[in-house]
Chains A and B, each alone.
Chain A
Amino acid sequence: MRTIQFREAIAEAMSEEMRKDERIYLMGEEVAEYNGAYKASKGMLDEFGEKRVIDTPIAELGFAGVAVGSTMTGCRPIVEYMTFNFCLVGIDQIINNAAKIRQMSGGQFPCPIVFRGPTASAGQLAATHSQAFENWFANTPGLKVIVPSNPYDAKGLLKAAIRDDDPVIFMESEQMYGDKGEVPEEEYVLPIGVAEIKREGKDVTIVSFGKIIKEAYKAADELTEEGISCEIIDLRTVRPLDQKTILDSVKKTNRLVILEEAWPFGNISTEITYQVQSQAFDYLDAPVEKINTADTPAPYSPTLLAEWLPNKDDVIKAVKKVLYK
């Protein structure tokens, strides 16, 4: 199969859908002439023209609101944030408008919109540029939240997000855009809300999503050498959460470690922990372990940042802890 970069998978998903549906447009900072701050919309201005691939001024509140507003007249926008840190400037438009218009209008105004861009840390960018808001969005009824971890999933899920009639938050990573992976030439769409077991195993379940899942793979490789077999679940979508895949796995392995790059208080891991203890309490042979970032804003200094971020060693320790090793 051919191999493409994550950024190419994103551009392909958007372009394929835009070819089929005139109502879709892409809007954001540097998406057109610059081909995307991270080149995730490369070639799209050339193909679709400036009516449909639209550079905006730095005005996150304004253009998010314009995009949401346009859904009420039949448009299906894709809004790119240079990173999700910057959506905070206009998060009101996502939480108070996109997520609620359908419900408040009694179903008259569905809001088919995708907000996409990078999430979480990407090196030494310090406190305001290293945040993961998956749980903020996942906490909001009305939104769906997708966080893929490889080019194949990214393409199939972004196509699903664009076709979806509800608002979708689609979160990528600066540190994944260059990642390569197999993506077929043929068209495919992946279902929203379905996790995938990336590696089968029997001793412990590791649940993760997004770029940080790579630390779980590395940990699992090392643990295999010690004879410990890890099952790795990639959530891919965090809202709605695919509880069944998680529960089935935990019922098999009886042990759960959750790896999520986010602050530890009230995050996705917390919700999963609750669900598992309430629905599979009798299957658990050890308390659930969750691995997150430190409970602080991201520090700039390289040594502190390394301490702040979760890594493969943390996963190994957590796995051994739930195995009482």
Chain B
Amino acid sequence: MKKITKQTYLKWYEDMLLWRKFEDKLAAVYIQQKVRGFLHLYNGQEAVLAGALHAMELGKDRMITAYRNHVQPIGMGVDPRRVMAELYGKATGTSHGLGGSMHIFSKEKRFHGGHGIVGGQIPLGAGMAFGDKYNNSDAVTLCYFGDGAARQGSLHESFNLAMLWNLPVVFICENNGYAMGTSVARTANHEDIWKLGLGYEMPSEPCDGMDPVAVAKAMDKAISRARKGGGPTFLEMKTYRYRGHSMSDAQKYRTKDEVEEYKKIDPITQVLDVIKSKKYATQKQIDEIDARVKALVKECEQFAEDSPFPEKELMYDAVYEQKDYPFIPHKL
């Protein structure tokens, strides 16, 4: 694995802070109704992404996830301004305003969405791995889904196919404790989601998803295995989401104390503590990072605000590759 150095910690801190503040900004503009639809935020789960990015080969490896998907593409190198613009439904967005909050995509950065149907992306992740293997590439696919999605049949069919065909894929369940208002304990007779892989003899293990170091190590092992032809791995990342499921969630299914407990092991705080105790940065340098992040988030908002809405034609042009597809006429 790439060494975890001072630079790694500083990058983790800046990245995770950006993701956190980016999501906070979205929550704020959502209340102002500048962003509409559903809005699912990643706050609390950042270490799962930070650790994975450390182990991935960016530019080669692929990622796919569910609808809690604003910051993953940013981590993979997509311009955050374009992600913000997508949420505003603007022409400069990653899908030119067609996809919105739940559907961020970047072919260039190998971020494959952004999927709103729970569990729907699991077979797609296996399929991306199938394609890379078919094309003799040694790229690895990271396929993310939630604890709720782990109960979909699509998981089982995909696990079996991935093992049967020895596909270069890492399945990652982000167990944040809840699927909307349903705790993991209420969705099965067991709580160890990672064990679902065992029935398929897939290497499977749990991991502390609040700690980027633990995540990086587990991901590195899994990615290396896949890259060397060793097939799939299933990792259950134990993590937590601080905010409600989406913006309309009274959160009666959990206590404030529970949320506070997790904030004590907040991934950003954990990383900052190391930076401070190992003197990886002075307070001044930390303040500079904070200021940079703040400025960038502001810039994202401004960019989204200033961007135009898409042209009407886009609605049609985006549907088919065929340029002159004969759509049924609409509106008199």
Residues of A within 8 A of B (CB): 29-30, 33-34, 37, 55, 57-62, 85-86, 88-89, 123-129, 264-265, 289, 292-297, 299-304, 307-308, 314, 317-318, 321
Contacts and interface: CB of A to CB of B under 8 A. Distances in A.
A317 B332 CA distance: 7
Interface stretch (B128-136, B169-177, B307-315): B307-315
Contacts of A61: 152-153
A214 B193 CA distance: 46
Given A58-B118, A299-B97, A301-B97, A30 B332 contact: no
Contacts of B319: 296-297
Given A124-B37, A294-B330, A303 B89 contact: yes
A126 B153 contact: no
Given A30-B181, A58-B148, A59-B152, A294 B315 contact: yes
Contacts of A307: 312, 315, 331
Contacts of A317: 331-332
A89 B36 CA distance: 25
A93 to B, nearest CB: 11
Contact of A62 (B118, B120, B153, B253): B153
Contacts of A308: 315
A184 B11 CA distance: 63
Nearest to A302: B89
B89 A295 contact: no
A126 B315 contact: no
B332 A58 contact: no
A321 B101 CA distance: 39
Interface size bracket, B side: 35 or more
A85 B67 CA distance: 15
B103 A300 contact: yes
B328 A29 contact: no
Contact of B98 (A289, A293, A300): A300
B188 A126 contact: no
Contact of B38 (A55, A62, A125): A125
A124 B316 contact: no
A185 B80 CA distance: 54
Contacts of B225: none
Interface in B23-68: 36-38
Contacts of A299: 97-98, 310, 314-315
B187 interface: yes
Determine chain B's interface SS by DSSP, over half rule. Answer: loop
Interface string B169-200: 00000000001111000111000000000000
B319 to A, nearest CB: 5
B99 interface: yes
Interface of B: 36-38, 89-90, 95, 97-103, 116-120, 148-149, 151-154, 179-182, 186-188, 252-253, 309-310, 312, 314-316, 318-319, 327-328, 330-332
B37 A125 contact: yes
A43 to B, nearest CB: 14
23 contacts: A29-B182, A34-B180, A57-B182, A58-B149, A58-B151, A89-B153, A125-B37, A126-B98, A126-B99, A126-B101, A294-B331, A299-B97, A299-B310, A300-B89, A300-B98, A301-B97, A301-B309, A303-B89, A304-B312, A307-B312, A307-B315, A308-B315, A317-B331
B181 A126 contact: no
Task: Please name the 7 residue pairs, one residue from A and one from B, whose CB atoms are nearest each other, closest first.
Answer: A300-B100, A301-B89, A301-B97, A57-B151, A124-B37, A57-B187, A34-B181
A245 B211 CA distance: 65
Contact of B315 (A34, A123, A296, A302): A296
Contact of A89 (B117, B188, B312): B117
B62 to A, nearest CB: 21
Contacts of A289: 332
Contacts of B101: 126, 300
Contacts of B332: 289, 314, 317-318, 321
Contacts of A34: 180-182, 252-253
A269 to B, nearest CB: 11
A300 B315 CA distance: 10
B181 to A, nearest CB: 4
Given A29-B182, A33-B253, A124 B327 contact: no
B37 A123 contact: yes
